[in-house]
Structure 1
Amino acid sequence: MPQRIRKLIGTVLLLLLVVVWALMAMVIAQGRVTGLHWAWQTVCYVLLGGLWTIPAALLIRWMERADKPRQG
């Protein structure tokens, strides 16, 4: 698959990831985290706010992969 197509697909997937992750984090934070001690709340918010970078980094690495040379 050419890098140009991977970047298009990856961009759409990154946008979906951010939207879905934000909605999921809001549901978790409102349903579970608000009743915790403030220190645990801080830990949860840091994790919910930062863990999305792992799948995003993997997706970006896939997007930036060089094209295979053509055989011919």
Structure 2
Amino acid sequence: MPIRLKKFIGTILIIILVLVYALVATTIASRTLGASSGWVHLAYFALSGLLWILPAMVIIKWMAGPRQK
């Protein structure tokens, strides 16, 4: 697969990932954190704000292709 096509597909996948992840994380927060303290909110949003990076790293590695020697 040409590298330009892989980068285009990867970019679209990352955009979809961020949109879906933000909607899911916000829905979970609004349904479960309503009566929680501020520290719980801070911990949840700090964790969920960093957790999307893991699947994005996989997509970015795929976009870069195999290591060149």
TM-score of the superposition, structure 1-length normalised?
A: 0.82
**Equivalent position of 1:16 in the other structure:** 16
Amino acid at match of 1:20: V
Q: Provide the C-alpha distance between the structure 2 equivalents of 1:32 and 1:10, rounded to a whole number of angstroms.
A: 32
**1:62 and 2:62 correspond:** yes
TM-score of the superposition, structure 2-length normalised?
A: 0.85
Unaligned runs of 5+ in 2: none
Moved beyond 3 Å, runs of 4+: none
**Equivalent position of 1:44 in the other structure:** 44
**Equivalent position of 2:7 in the other structure:** 7
Task: Please report how far the alpha carbon of residue 34 of structure 1 lies from its aligned counterpart in structure 2 after TM superposition.
Answer: 2.5
Task: Please report how far the alpha carbon of residue 53 of structure 1 lies from its aligned counterpart in structure 2 after TM superposition.
Answer: 0.7
Amino acid at match of 1:63: M
Aligned residues: 68
Bigger-Rg structure (1/2)? 1
% identical equivalent positions: 37
Answer whether contact 1:3 1:67 (CA < 8 A) is retained: no
Task: Please report how far the alpha carbon of residue 67 of structure 1 lies from its aligned counterpart in structure 2 after TM superposition.
Answer: 8.6
Q: CA RMSD in A?
A: 1.8
Residues 67, 46 of structure 1: CA spacing in aligned structure 2 closer, same or farther, 3 A cutoff? closer
Answer whether contact 1:10 1:59 (CA < 8 A) is retained: yes
